[in-house]
Amino acid sequence: MREKVVHVSRVEPKPVTEGGARGTRIRWLISKEDGAPNFSMRYFEIEPGGRTPRHSHPWEHEIFILEGEGLVEIGDREYEVGPGTAVFIPPDVFHSITNTGTGILKLLCLIPHVD
C-alpha cells in the first residue's frame, strides 16, 4: 500500500453513461487501483437538471453534499439536500440523485470495493 494525495482538479472527469443518467460526471479520487484495501471515494458533478440513474445494487453508499441543491430518492422516499448534508443509502434499495438547483451539484460518494 502507498499513500495518495491528489487535488480533485487533477483527476479526469468521466461522463456517467448508465441508462437514465444525464449531465453527470464522476472522478475516481481513491480506488482499489491506488491500493485502498476497502473503499473507493468518488467525486460527482451533476449539472442543473441532471441526474444519476435510478438503480440498486448489493452495496451501500455514503454520500456527502459539498455544493448545490438536489433531491435524493431512496426507495419510495425523497429528501431535499444541500451543502453539509450526509446521506446513507442501504444495499439493495433503488436510489438516484437529481440536481434541482441552478449551479452544479457536487458530492462525495464512498462505496466498498465491488468485485
Map out the domains of the chain as residue ranges.
Answer: 18-112
Structure-model confidence comparison of residues 82 and 2, the more confident one = 82
Closest CA to 110 of 37, 8, 41: 41
Instruction: Tell me how far CA of residue 29 lies from CA of 39, 44, 80, 90, 95, in angstroms.
Output: 11, 10, 26, 22, 22
User: pTM of the full predicted structure?
Assistant: 0.94
Strands 61-67 and 39-51, by their bridges, are unpaired
pLDDT tens profile 14-70: 999 999 999 999 999 999 999 999 999 999 999 999 999 999 999 999 999 999 999
- The answer to whether residue 1 scores a pLDDT higher than 70 is no
Distance CA 84, CA 67 (A): 8
Asked whether the CA dihedral 101, 102, 106, 111 is positive or negative, the reply is: positive
Q: Under CATH, which architecture does the 18-112 domain have? A: Sandwich (2.60)
Average pLDDT over the chain reads: 95
